[in-house]
Amino acid sequence: MNSSHSYKIIFAGTPQFAVHALSALIDSRHQVKAVYTQPDRPAGRGRKLTPSPVKELALQHHLPVHQPITLRDEREQQMLADLQADIMVVVAYGLLLPLPVLQAPKFGCINIHASLLPRWRGAAPIQRAVLAGDTKTGITIMQMDKGLDTGDMLYETECTIESRDTSLILHDKLAQLGADALMKTLDQLSVIQPTPQDHFAATYAHKITKEEARLDWKLPAVELDRKIRAFIPWPIAFIQAARIWEAEVVEQQSSKEPGTIIQVSSQGIDVATGQGVLRIKTLQLPGGRQLSVVDVLNARQHDFAVGKIL
């Protein structure tokens, strides 16, 4: 097996993040035997059954699509084994892979994970990295085992988290990086020496909840800014009066009670926090759309007057 080897691949993924990797495989010398993705889900106002982004791409390229509710079913496991794949590539699939599935392909299953393992194992590695104020993250290509993101590492590549990056910006950077890392891993698969993770250094990226996005003005401005960036595009940071889409830390201190508006200008609404000042720049009033502070002040100036507590 040299770098020109062509593999028979099963691809398993669901959201937009996984589309880049599937697209790279479709354009490569490798053969995608089948695509596994989550069952269609109700979406939008009409709650219409909607295919996943991965399914849409697979159908465009006339690839066989499988959407089992579970892979614990023995018939499903047999169908997957019958594909006689060399390797299964898993990217944000959303279903647990039981041992018979992990062992079915010749070289097992590999996963594209959006962090530098063992940091941020689990469901929300991108958001947790932004929330924690990490200055770097990356992609790990991992040999899957029966644990949650505990397998040996095959390839790692770093990505800087810029000071204004939101989870959405970082998501798009890492999706592309993940596709590139996958292709490099497949090129070198026969010679890669797997590296065990340091399990003692592991951190866990718990799933994001809506309630976490509620802003507490007693927190430092730096932490509030991270929350706002971490929760774009979902669930969006909020206070009682609005959702906040964009803010920045202002280099000044305030002795006012946290949550007090201390200055209003075309630059933004400056709010005292537990430590420092946060300037709100873009927000969304209930039932409305995203607006710049200038537009909000034109319509609802009295709601955001100096001295008011948010």
**Per-position DSSP letters for 200-226, written without gaps between them:** GG--EEPPP-SGGGB--TTSBHHHHHH
Give 53's contacts (C-beta < 8 A, 6+ positions apart). 14, 15, 16, 18, 19
Whether the CB-CB separation of 250 and 275 falls below 8 Å is answered with no
Residues carrying CATH 3.40.50.170, the chain = 8-205
Average pLDDT over residues 173-185: 97
- Grade residue 50 by pLDDT with cuts at 50, 70 and 90: very high
pLDDT computed for residue 262 by the predictor: 96
* H or E element at residue 26: helix 16-26
Query: Does the pLDDT of residue 169 top 80, yes or no?
Result: yes
Query: Does the pLDDT of residue 1 top 80, yes or no?
Result: no
User: What's the mean per-residue pLDDT of the chain?
Assistant: 95
pLDDT computed for residue 12 by the predictor: 98
Whether the CB-CB separation of 83 and 34 falls below 8 Å is answered with yes
pLDDT computed for residue 43 by the predictor: 85
Whether the CB-CB separation of 18 and 113 falls below 8 Å is answered with no
pLDDT computed for residue 45 by the predictor: 83
Query: Does the pLDDT of residue 71 top 80, yes or no?
Result: yes
pLDDT computed for residue 4 by the predictor: 67
- Grade residue 2 by pLDDT with cuts at 50, 70 and 90: very low
Average pLDDT over residues 177-194: 96
Average pLDDT over residues 275-287: 94
Residues carrying CATH 3.10.25.10, the chain = 211-304
Please list the residues that pair with 160 across neighbouring strands. 136
Query: Does the pLDDT of residue 167 top 60, yes or no?
Result: yes
- For residues 256 and 297, which has the higher predicted lDDT (pLDDT)? 256
pLDDT single digits (tens) 205-226: 999 999 999 999 999 999 999 9
Q: Is 53 helix (H, G, I), strand (E, B) or coil?
A: helix
pLDDT computed for residue 217 by the predictor: 97
pTM: 0.93
Cα separation of 32 and 61, whole Å?
10
Q: Name the CATH superfamily housing domain 8-205.
A: Formyl transferase, N-terminal domain (3.40.50.170)
Average pLDDT over residues 245-252: 95
User: Which residue's entry shows tokens 């794949």?
Assistant: 85
- For residues 288 and 119, which has the higher predicted lDDT (pLDDT)? 119
User: Which residue's entry shows tokens 């194992």?
Assistant: 121
- For residues 286 and 85, which has the higher predicted lDDT (pLDDT)? 85
Query: Does the pLDDT of residue 117 top 70, yes or no?
Result: yes
Query: Does the pLDDT of residue 201 top 70, yes or no?
Result: yes
Q: Which CATH code is given to the segment(s) 211-304? A: 3.10.25.10
Average pLDDT over residues 300-308: 85
pLDDT computed for residue 302 by the predictor: 77
